[in-house]
A and B are shown apart, each in its own frame.
Chain A
Amino acid sequence: MMGIVFNLLEAAVCRTYGEARWYQLLDKAGLDGAYTSIGNYPDAEAFRIVGVAAEVLQLPPGEVLRWFGRESMGMVAERYSLFFTDHSSVRTFLPTINRVHNDEVRKLYPGALLPQFSFEDAPADTLRMVYHSSRSLCDLAQGFIEGTALVFKEQITVEHPYCKLRGDHQCRFDIRFRELMPANSPLVQD
Chain B
Amino acid sequence: MFEAALSRLGRMGSFLWAGWSGLAGLALLAALWQAGHEAYGAFILPSPLETLAAGAAILSDGRAWEVAMLTCIRAVEGFAVSALAGAVSGLAAGYFPATMRLARPLVTVLLGVPPIAWIVLAMIWFGSTDGTVVVTVVVAAAPLVFVGVAEGVMTRDRGLDDMARAFGAGPVQRLITLGLRHVAAHLFPALAVALGMAFKVAVMAELLANVGGIGGELARSRANLDVAAALAWVTIAVAALIVVEYGVVHPVRSEFERWRAAAQPWGVKR
Q: Do A and B come from one complex?
A: no
Q: Enumerate chain A interface residues (CB-CB to B < 8 A).
A: none
Q: Enumerate chain B interface residues (CB-CB to A < 8 A).
A: none
